[in-house]
Chains A and B, each alone.
Chain A
Amino acid sequence: MGWTGQVMRVNLTEGTCTPEALNMEWAGEYLGQRGLASKYLCEEMDPRIDPLSPDNMMIFATGPLTGTCASTGGRFSVITKGALTGAIACSNSGGYWGAELKFAGWDMIILEGKASSPVYLCIIDDKVELLDASDIWGKSVWDTDAWIKTRHQDPQMHISAIGIAGENGVLYAGIVNDLHRAAGRSGVGAVMGSKNLKAIAVRGTGGVKVDDFLAFMTATTAAKKVLAGNAVTGEGLPTYGTQVLMNIINESGALPTRNNRDVQFEDVHDISAEAMAAPSGKDGKPNLQTNQACFSCTIACGRISKVNEEHYTVQNKPEYWHASGGLEYEAAWALGAAVGVKDLDALTYANFICNEQGIDPISFGSTLAAAMEMYEDGVITDKETGGLALEFGSAQALTTAVELTGKAEGFGKELGMGSKRLCDKYGRPELSMTVKGQEFPAYDPRGIQGMGLGYATANRGGCHLRSYTVASEILGIPEKTDPLVTDGKPGLVKAFQDATAAVDSSGLCIFTTFAWTMEDIAPQIDADLPGDWSVDRLLEVGERIWNLERQFNLQAGFTAKDDTLPKRLLNDAAKTGPAKGLVAGLDKMLPEYYELRGWTKEGVPTSETLSRLAL
């Protein structure tokens, strides 16, 4: 079966590493990764604890397909109570780290407590130990990666690490693995930093067994053919990456611009996939160098880019002249349209800094956008910013702010609080584009109505990846729905949420679902694991996970009042584009959504719902 059956429990306070058996009963109910680790978290931790206290648990979890040859079977998630939100956090990453953990013989790493001094966890197959990290505390993700590989004389180690941002308590600090893939959202890196845990380095030399080898090869081969033959996953994503969305979302009138004051960005072309692929600079070479795949992925949507060596950000910094990860769509939006900046090299450099120092670019860009609006309004002045002119459109403001945020210096300390706390501090809470304290990403719900409900109800706070209705509302996958209407969206959002929860628990990448349906996914899991894993069972697991996460949040103190959107989206109509005159129609969708979920009008799962889902 796809599990090693082994979990490593690390008590950072005691300095102990203790293996234990994976709870197979829970694995049968929650599949793996997001679902299974959330079950562990809910069973073992009081949801009311302070996320930055030693009481918070942190779980690095693989799925049953992680480390297999199923296409995209390399995903892992970090599950904890989010530092940014206080809600349950599950941040998903690709790269090679997750597969390597499975090869080392571990399905999950559970971290408890807090180390008395900086440490890193070193996993070389069944040898697991906490080692002194005082020499790398204060170093970037990139330097940490190189230091650990050098120390262990093993370039094939895979490393998940925090940068300076996570050490300094930037509340949206992420955890970066393999240099530029990230468990980026909800402040999981801040939790890791609060535990004095700098990195987890893994080297595995084993493999992964599946339950029925012949059936598994048959199912995964058939599924790969579907990906290769699909125009989106076989050609569109590898060629243009997610960044091709920039012009689509802008034309659709749903590109949040200058802190969601506008829904279209006049300079969108300059920060688009088309601009990344166009010749630039004196050498005539484009920003985009190549694409890149994560472990076992046959899509390869990742972007690898370079900053023009003559650009002001890197002119005297040859250490940034190499090609590295980005820009992906969400980051390009956050570092571009959200703050009104059109300088592609500045965006690329800012994205490099986010990867180097472990910063979530979505939350950073959105927080900077709110700060820029307050600067424009005179609420924040040069006195607070230390003379940095936080003007919309200023590339200099963007690149300086990201450096300061990573280092937690000057006004960067304030930006590191996130948009909600920053806007509260300066008395302008309405300017924070957040849900449950988390900055939402690159789709304005006035132009894509389903995304408004998705943001409002996402268990980890404002997020596009919990129910990516953009696929249906804009791209027509699996079928086209009208982005400007609310009718039918509660059911659409629920369906996306439940299916996504299952995919996020499998070890697969959600991007496969641009081509795959659950009918393509179920046979792969069924062959991987013992028992019968049908589409119906997976969707039931997904719904169970969604309700489990909801229960965590309710116990943590969230209520239906938190299932909302910023007033700007609810009250101020879009000024241009197809959505001109529209606001986000959340009030038309939320009651029906609660009913479809089997929740009360107060957003609480009924006893019948909990019983039906065996919760």
Chain B
Amino acid sequence: MNITLKLFASLGTFLPPGAARNAIELDVKNGATIGDVLTQHCVPREICHLILVNGIFAPPAIADSKQLIEGDTLAVWPPVAGG
């Protein structure tokens, strides 16, 4: 299935070749979890602080159980803030 992976701030360095504007479309196995996708791209889990799936917050603790579906957008940030 196809998903979009977006990695921001310092995590941007873990995006594979071909990524543009901090995003890339990926073909992943059906039923892949958030954790599967992050592991596949060697993204250090301990600094995956804010995870959004289609803009909705996904607690890092459920990353290994939360399955993605076709067309999902997975966006991840390290610890950041602003205002």
A residues lining the B interface (CB < 8 Å): 230-233, 235-237, 239-245, 247-248, 251-253, 269, 273-274, 301, 329-330, 464-465, 468, 470-471, 474-477, 480, 482-483, 510-511, 514, 577-578
Contact = CB atoms under 8 A, between A and B. Distances in A.
A270 to B, nearest CB: 8
Nearest to A329: B82
A578 B55 contact: yes
Contacts of A468: 83
Contacts, number: 94
A236 B80 contact: yes
Contact of A273 (B9, B49, B57, B59): B9
A451 to B, nearest CB: 11
A591 to B, nearest CB: 28
Contact of B77 (A248, A253, A471): A248
A186 B6 CA distance: 37
Interface residues of B, number: 25
Contacts of B57: 474, 476, 480, 482-483
B77 A244 contact: yes
A470 B83 CA distance: 8
Contact of A244 (B9, B54, B56): B9
A476 B22 contact: no
Contacts of B22: 247, 269, 274
B82 A269 contact: no
Contacts of B81: 232-233, 236-237, 242, 244-245, 471, 475, 477, 511, 514
26 contacts: A232-B79, A232-B80, A235-B78, A236-B78, A236-B81, A237-B80, A239-B9, A240-B10, A240-B80, A242-B81, A243-B82, A244-B77, A245-B82, A251-B52, A251-B55, A251-B75, A252-B55, A274-B12, A274-B22, A471-B81, A474-B57, A475-B50, A477-B81, A480-B57, A578-B54, A578-B55
Q: Which of A241, A248, A471, A483 is the most central at the interface, judged by chain B CB atoms within 10 Å of its CB?
A: A248
A140 to B, nearest CB: 27
Nearest to B75: A251
Nearest to A244: B80
A247 B75 contact: yes
List 8 tightest A-B contacts by C-beta distance, closest first.
Answer: A242-B82, A231-B79, A245-B82, A236-B80, A578-B55, A269-B21, A244-B80, A232-B81
B8 interface: yes
B48 to A, nearest CB: 11
A274 B9 CA distance: 6
Given A577-B55, A578-B54, A464 B9 contact: no
A247 B83 CA distance: 13
Nearest to A578: B55
Q: Which of B73, B79, B83 is the most central at the interface, judged by chain A CB atoms within 10 Å of its CB?
A: B83
A287 to B, nearest CB: 16
Nearest to A330: B83
Contacts of B75: 247, 251
A240 B9 contact: yes
A58 B82 CA distance: 29
Contacts of A477: 81
Interface string B9-32: 110100000000110000000000
A475 B80 CA distance: 8
A330 B83 CA distance: 7
A241 B80 CA distance: 8
Nearest to A477: B81
Q: Which of B9, B54, B78, B80 is the most central at the interface, judged by chain A CB atoms within 10 Å of its CB?
A: B80
Contacts of A240: 9-10, 80
Interface string B44-83: 0001011010111101000000000000010101111111
Given A244-B80, A269-B21, A474-B50, 12 more contacts: A231-B79, A232-B80, A237-B81, A240-B10, A242-B83, A244-B9, A244-B81, A248-B50, A269-B22, A274-B12, A475-B50, A477-B81
B68 to A, nearest CB: 15
B78 A241 contact: no
A145 B55 CA distance: 45
A217 to B, nearest CB: 27
Contacts of A274: 8-9, 12, 22
Contact of A241 (B6, B8, B54, B82): B82
A271 B14 CA distance: 21
A253 B56 CA distance: 9
Contacts of A476: 50, 57
A91 to B, nearest CB: 15
Contacts of A475: 50, 80-81
Contacts of B55: 251-253, 577-578
A480 B6 CA distance: 22
Contacts of A237: 80-82
Contacts of A510: 83
Q: Which of A233, A243, A251, A269 is the most central at the interface, judged by chain B CB atoms within 10 Å of its CB?
A: A251
Contacts of A241: 82
Given A247-B8, A274-B8, A578-B54, A465 B83 contact: yes
Nearest to A246: B82
A244 B82 contact: yes
A274 B56 CA distance: 21
B83 A464 contact: yes
B69 to A, nearest CB: 16
A295 B82 CA distance: 19
Nearest to B47: A231
A471 B81 CA distance: 8
A608 to B, nearest CB: 34
B66 to A, nearest CB: 15
A244 B79 CA distance: 10
A248 B83 contact: no
A201 B35 CA distance: 56
Contacts of B83: 242, 245, 329-330, 464-465, 468, 470-471, 510-511
Contacts of A329: 82-83
A239 B80 CA distance: 9
Contacts of B54: 578
Nearest to A475: B81
